[in-house]
Structure 1
Amino acid sequence: MSKWVIGVIGGSGLYEIEGLENAETISVETPWGAPSDPLVKGQIGDVTLVFLPRHGKGHRLTPTAVPYRANIDALKRLGCTDVLSVSACGSLKEALAPGDFVMVDQFIDRTFAREKTFFGPGMVAHVSMADPVCSRLSGLAGDAAEQAGAKVHRGGTYIAMEGPQFSSRAESHLYRQWGCDVIGMTNMPEAKLAREAELPYATIAMVTDYDCWRDDSEAVSVSNVLEVMKNNTDKARQTLKALVGGLQGTERTASPQGIETCLDFAMITAPDARDPAVLAKLDAVAGRVL
């Protein structure tokens, strides 16, 4: 029976997972450098979890400085079958209140200072990002969040900004005009890289604030985010507990979206033109097809 091995990338406020059995801390070296922190791998029943704090313990890394490629490579290298991102975000819609959870299903990438692909000169590939989230994993996580007592919104567009500064009011109003639902700084290029690594990916976006588009309220600041973030983190822990509980005894089958084989249709560079040095760096993320 195929087992679930879920990589959990913890965002602001979530720096560890409780209740892991046979937990071991693993330092992973990747061709893309070191990940944000050593990874913690353990089991809860027959489900394996691999946890990685996105910003490192103590929140050392800015959104731009997060080693996204190394993080995804490390999760793939440790055998993850799926990746669940838990992320703080700002709301761009009145109905998405602080404390709510949004199961994001679309992204707009406005980051500009990050490496966004494992591929490049010597090995070119183009994966589809039309549907960037694994609908099955997102649905399971949303069900678990509801069991944990969260108010869950199914679907939503996440706009990723570079940061680390929060938005200007003009930017916040612009993103609302674009139809965006939430705003954050970290899910891109993370989702793109997960797709290149053939890892089904889903995001729980935990709303902490209304950004700064509401002219009748205080602009977002770290101080007024922290209290909401603490409550969100408690619900996130309960969500993970419920998710893992629901997977006990179940067999993991391939994603219905064919994510685990998406590279079959993505490779462009002819075999005789591929750079061996580039191929060597892709041993974990694309070894299946190379």
Structure 2
Amino acid sequence: MTIPSETHPVGIIGGTGLTTLPGLEIIGEQLVETSWGVPSSALVEGRLGDQSVIFLSRHGNPHRIPPHQVNYRANIRALYDAGVRTVVGVNAVGGIHHDMGPAHVVIPDQLIDYTWGRPSTFFEDDLNEVTHIDFTWPYDAGARQILAEAARDVGAPFSDFGVYGATQGPRLETAAEIRRMERDGCDLVGMTGMPEAVLAAELGMRYVCLGLVVNWAAGKSEHIITMAEIEEAIEKGMSGVRGILTVSMAGLGKLTPLPQSS
């Protein structure tokens, strides 16, 4: 996949409910391999409006890779090697905050990592020196603003704040775990937000999360969580997510690469 040096396509990582991206004018599709292994799916190169886009399905197509087994390093590296410098990670999440119910869109500004055992850095093995990156603000402010403006334009119910709590999965959480996360300050819970965000940061990429709430988190409703409930919320809310992506592409494509990217 060859990207002109003067342009930078926007990367979209699709999660549960977004294995493919309707409306994407597909130009090409390529299976690639990186020094960190094979990504979850082929890279699909296309256009949304006038913006060049590269789409990757986080869980594979068909949806088969559980959150704790996603090769996040290969996914992020493959997008970087294809010229992507701004990434939108689309995530299906559970709502903890009282305003973040099913089919609500969230553009979080912070996260807490509860995952364990996942390869979570490019900076290991054969290093000349130990590398620490600043991760104070895990989501790019400019990209967040563009997504929020797009959400207003399409009329999707959304929140432009929130703390994403990343859990290990693939099981859902207990009610006690959600109570603990709420005490910690989490507004939503998901299984794929980390290490995806930090890996993008290590490569100097702009990264932003576009979360769709697909269920109330454990203990936040009177009933147990069912796949039927999740599928209904995806069906109801995914049109808003697709609309936000389409409207935001032109603005995201105009963001300049961060100084540390190369």
TM-score, normalised via structure 1 length = 0.83
Q: Distance between the aligned counterparts of 1:82 and 1:25, measured in 2? A: 19
Q: Distance between the aligned counterparts of 1:22 and 1:10, measured in 2? A: 15
Residue from 176, 179, 187 that aligns with 2:182: 176
Alignment-derived partner of residue 229 in structure 1: 234
Q: Distance between the aligned counterparts of 1:251 and 1:3, measured in 2? A: 9
- Cα offset, 1:90, TM superposition: 0.4
Alignment-derived partner of residue 238 in structure 1: 243
Deviations 1:71-110 (A, max 9, x none): 0000001000200011110011111121111111111111
- Cα offset, 1:127, TM superposition: 0.8
Q: Which amino acid aligns with 2:234?
A: M
The answer to whether structure 1 residue 135 and structure 2 residue 141 are counterparts is: yes
- Cα offset, 1:41, TM superposition: 0.6
Q: Which moved more, 1:205-214 or 1:193-202?
A: 205-214
Across the aligned residues of Structure 1 and Structure 2, the Cα RMSD in angstroms comes to: 1.8
Alignment-derived partner of residue 11 in structure 1: 15
Alignment-derived partner of residue 261 in structure 1: 260
Q: Distance between the aligned counterparts of 2:61 and 2:236, measured in 1? A: 19
Q: Distance between the aligned counterparts of 2:15 and 2:26, measured in 1? A: 24
Find the residue that maps to 1:166 and give its secondary structure. Answer: coil
Cα pair 1:91 1:210 within 8 Å, conserved: yes
Q: Which runs of structure 2 are paired with 1:25-64 in the superposition (5 Å)?
A: 25-64=29-68
Find the residue that maps to 2:125 and give its secondary structure. Answer: coil
Cα pair 1:211 1:219 within 8 Å, conserved: no
- Cα offset, 1:253, TM superposition: 2.6
Cα distance change, pair 122–109 in 1 and its aligned pair in 2 (3 A): same
Q: Distance between the aligned counterparts of 1:104 and 1:22, measured in 2? A: 29
- Runs of 5+ consecutive residues of structure 1 not aligned to the other structure: 263-287
Q: Distance between the aligned counterparts of 1:117 and 1:212, measured in 2? A: 30
Cα pair 2:93 2:212 within 8 Å, conserved: yes
Cα pair 1:92 1:213 within 8 Å, conserved: no
Q: Which runs of structure 2 are paired with 1:99-118 in the superposition (5 Å)?
A: 99-118=103-122
- Cα offset, 1:44, TM superposition: 3.2
- Identity, in percent, stands at 34
- Cα offset, 1:4, TM superposition: 4.5
- Cα offset, 1:209, TM superposition: 1.3
Alignment-derived partner of residue 201 in structure 1: 207
Find the residue that maps to 2:35 and give its secondary structure. Answer: coil
- Cα offset, 1:22, TM superposition: 5.1
Cα distance change, pair 9–260 in 1 and its aligned pair in 2 (3 A): farther
Q: Which amino acid aligns with 1:227?
A: E
Q: Which amino acid aligns with 1:238?
A: G
Q: Which moved more, 1:124-133 or 1:68-77?
A: 124-133
Deviations 1:238-276 (A, max 9, x none): 1111112x439x74434xxxx4417xxxxxxxxxxxxxx
Q: Distance between the aligned counterparts of 1:106 and 1:58, measured in 2? A: 30
Cα distance change, pair 260–14 in 1 and its aligned pair in 2 (3 A): farther
Alignment-derived partner of residue 275 in structure 1: none
Q: Which has the larger radius of gyration?
A: 1
- Runs of 5+ consecutive residues of structure 2 not aligned to the other structure: none
Cα distance change, pair 65–260 in 1 and its aligned pair in 2 (3 A): farther
Cα distance change, pair 101–260 in 1 and its aligned pair in 2 (3 A): farther
